Structure 1
Amino acid sequence: MSETATDSGTPPLEFLPSRQFPEWLAENRLSLCFSTYQAGKLFFIGLQPNGRLSIFERTFNRSMGLWSDGQTIWMTSLYQIWRFENALQAGEVYQGYDRLYVPQLAYTTGDIDAHDIAIDAAGRPVFVNTLFSCLAQPSETKSFRPLWRPGFVSRLLPEDRCHLNGLAMEAGRPAYVTAVGETDVADGWREKRVGGGIVIDVAADRIVARGLCMPHSPRLHQGKLWLLDSGTGNLGFVEPGSGRFEAVAFCPGYLRGLAFHDRFAIVGLSQPRENKTFAGLPLDDALAKRGAGPQCALMVIDLKSGATVHWLKIEGIVHELYDVVTLPEIRRPMALGLKTDEIRRVLTIEE
């Protein structure tokens, strides 16, 4: 059903699409890109000329937050912020691929546990600096430049006080962020995993939703603030005014990574690690009631019905995903990596 291209001799991976998943990509003229920090991989999902899946991967340590407008991809990683640029002109093809993303620029941040990333109205990256509990931008001379931190966080210290993780933008400005707990002590969020999750309005520095379970991936789409209540396995939205979380769909996994295409949501599912962070979450009971185990997958949810209409299950060394972005009007994307000679031979000239 698929073809996989790699750069590093990755042990076998099996991608198991639902029967109509390739056709859904073709009908919507869409490709996908997702990250897995656990395996240190960036994956591109597209279509071969024969209509079968094309799966292309590159290795980047702890690849996490993603943002893309189709021409550019930004990605957070272990100690760097990366910018990829498409090297192909319209209608140009490279080895059968219609997008060739080149790692063009990297900011060295150090290991600050950077999570979500987005681009502001001036074209500058804004990312969640989880270790320092703040929003930040890359710096030309330092590890980062802090932009904002929650009012309840009293000092800018490398203590991961609230596990700030998700970022939603509106009109080119940071609008909302998610955090696992409203705490002001080092690593204090771990005691707030169940029911302590919050959503913060950045401009007002006001908590607009409480009672969540390890929320991630806030996104504004069609006038609603969507997010993943990761510890319960629910995709839903926050009702304005009341701040109540309205679940729309349950997915069998720990949720991280959310993108939209028209009326569809693409959600990343992970198999939780067997450690204290993921133990005792409501997700465990929800899966047990349904007689299911956690999956590693991308799932396509119809927002009108809440039904899972398509999926791509992943088996092998990859167990945890972090982020996903859509690549509209792109059929078959790929990227250059840093471990092959190919990156030496692809040369482009700025006109």
Structure 2
Amino acid sequence: MNPEQPISPFQLEHTPQVPELLYKLQCSIVLSTFQAGKIVTLSPVNEDRITQLARNFNRPMGITFTDNYEKLAIACENEVIQLKNSEILAKNYPKKPNTYSNMYFPMSTNYTGKLDLHDLSYGIDNELYAINTLFSCISTFDNDYNFKSYWKPDFITELKPEDRCHLNGMAMKDGKPKYVTAFNTGNTAKSWQKDLTKTGVLIDVDTNEIILSGLGMPHTPRFINGKLYLLLSATGQLVEVDIENKSYTEVINLKGFVRGMSFYKDYLFIGLSKLRQNSSSFAHLDVAKLTNYAGVAIVHLPTKSYQGLLKYKTSVDEIYDLEILPDFLRPNILNNFTEMHKQAILAEDSCYWVG
């Protein structure tokens, strides 16, 4: 009897058209999986094959790029790490020269403590905004405090580390946070855990007005071509919001736990997660029974049609966030766990590998 073959980590399968689509779009996918503790890049080698690169980070959640893609920020368990891109360092990478199109390496860190940061986004002048779920507010960062409160819902009477409403998602407009999602409007510790599939809300940051209520675990609000979209994780729906009439319409139902979304050239890339069966909050959801994998679904937004799927067979069970990285077909990301990032030196007018 032959011994069983070991299971390879990060086994990925996909529908046939996905590599061709990514190659046609000339883009890569960058996703965060806090469950596996990785940032993963998925890139088309050609029209038939996809390659991936997984890097260790401590419980990564929200990820964001600046508009010019020169900087990447990652919300981790105890810190927000900002990374800087260099095509020259990528080209001369000592381990694999002339292999990668670009490289992000750690440049600065804000030590936040365990704030349970969720969505993260660069705004005007590259100011970083983060959903501070533990303290039920939007935060910014400086060198004097673990966080600075930028905004909180008016139903939250005081900032305490109690995750009162499970604030989680943030849509930016004109370089500032404009809409947020939360699981309820409670003002006591973890009040959202009761009836969490029926009490979700979408809130206008400028007015504190509740635009939508009664939502099933809303996540990932995003402005796309002047319209607001969000994901209803409890029902698997992508919906378009009619802000003026305070209503929404379904675009497509992906029949899984949806969270994390990015748009590029008419296509939406949406994260799907396999929910923990021992989770007291999520295991009972109907979508938990429908999706036994994590992956990325692709939707053609103009026609509201399903276009393909990337599906993990091993290692990845939950995805929090994802971004599309255009024009970089073989990105690399260095973490601060290894010695290599210490050898990358970026000066104002030059860069080097040393050591």
TM-score computed with the length of structure 1 as normaliser:
0.91
Q: Is the 8 A contact 2:235 2:255 kept in 1?
A: no
Tell me the alpha carbon deviations over residues 159-199 of structure 1, each in whole angstroms, 9 at most, x when there is no partner: 00000000100000110000011101100011141110000
Cα deviation code 1:113-133 (max 9, x no counterpart): 000011111211000000000
SS at match of 1:34: strand
Matched residue, 1:309: 307
Q: Distance in 2 between matches of 1:13 and 1:245?
A: 36
Secondary structure at the counterpart of residue 342 of structure 2: helix
**Residue 68 of structure 1: aligned partner:** 65
Matched with 1:137 is: 140
> How far apart are 1:336 and its partner, in Å?
1.1
- Match status 1:17 vs 2:14: yes
Kindly state the Cα deviation for residue 340 of structure 1 after the two structures are TM-superposed. Answer: 2.6
* Counterpart position of 2:284: 280
Partners of 2:181 and 2:220 in 1: CA distance? 8
Structure-2 separation of matches of 1:22 and 1:49: 7
Gaps of 5+ in 1: 1-9
Give 3-state SS (helix, strand or coil) of 1:169's partner.
strand
**Identity within the alignment, %:** 32
1:323 is the counterpart of 2:314:
no
Corresponding residue SS for 1:27: helix
Q: CA deviation at 1:317?
A: 2.0
Verify: 1:268 aligned to 2:271, yes or no. yes
- From 226, 236, 239, give the equivalent of 1:236: 239
Q: Which amino acid aligns with 1:272?
A: L
Provide the C-alpha distance between the structure 2 equivalents of 1:305 and 1:222, rounded to a whole number of angstroms.
15
Counterpart Cα distance in 1 of 2:190 and 2:338:
39
Residues 168, 45 of structure 1: alpha-carbon distance in 2 compared, 3 angstrom cutoff: same
Confirm or deny: 8 A CA contact 1:218 1:228 kept in the other structure. Answer: yes
Q: Identify the range of structure 1 (294-303 vs 213-222) with the bigger mean alpha-carbon deviation.
A: 294-303
1:50, CA displacement in angstroms?
A: 8.4
Q: In the alignment, is the contact (CA less than 8 A) between 1:93 and 1:99 conserved in 2?
A: no
Q: Distance in 2 between matches of 1:30 and 1:136?
A: 30
Deviation at 1:225, TM superposition (A): 0.7
- Tell which deviates more after alignment, 175-184 or 62-71: 62-71
Q: Does 1:162 align with 2:154?
A: no
- Name which of structure 1's ranges 240-249 and 127-136 shifts more when overlaid on structure 2: 240-249
Match of 2:130 in 1: 127
How many Å separate the matches in 2 of 1:60 and 1:12? 17
SS in 2 for 1:22: helix
Match of 2:337 among 339, 343, 346: 339
Could you tell me which residue of structure 1 aligns to residue 296 of structure 2?
298
Determine the C-alpha separation between the residues in 2 that align with 1:76 and 1:11: 28
Structure 2 distance, partners of 1:49, 1:220, is 31
What does residue 175 of structure 2 align with? 172
Structure 2-normalised TM-score?
A: 0.90
Aligned residue for 1:278, secondary structure, equals coil
Runs of 4+ that moved beyond 4 A: 89-94
Cα 1:11–1:60, aligned 2, differ >3 Å: closer, same or farther?
farther
How many pairs align? 336
User: Is 1:81 matched with 2:80?
Assistant: yes
Q: Which moved more, 1:324-333 or 1:46-55?
A: 46-55
After TM superposition, give the deviation of residue 307 of structure 1 in Å: 2.0
Looking at structure 2, the residues matched to 79 and 54 of structure 1 have their Cα atoms a distance apart, in angstroms, of 30
| Residue 151 (structure 1) aligns with | 154
In 1: Cα distance, 2:193 partner to 2:240 partner? 24
CA displacement, residues 244-290 of structure 1 (integer Å, 9 cap, x when unaligned): 22111111321110100121110000011122211333535xx6xxx
Secondary structure of 1:339's counterpart equals: coil
Distance 2:51 2:102 in 1: 13
Contact 1:248 1:306 in 2 (8 A): yes
Distance 1:346 1:173 in 2: 33
Q: Which residue of 2 aligns with 1:105?
A: 108
Q: CA RMSD in A?
A: 1.9
Q: 2:215 aligns with which of 196, 203, 212?
A: 212
Q: In structure 2, what is the equivalent of residue 5 of structure 1?
A: none
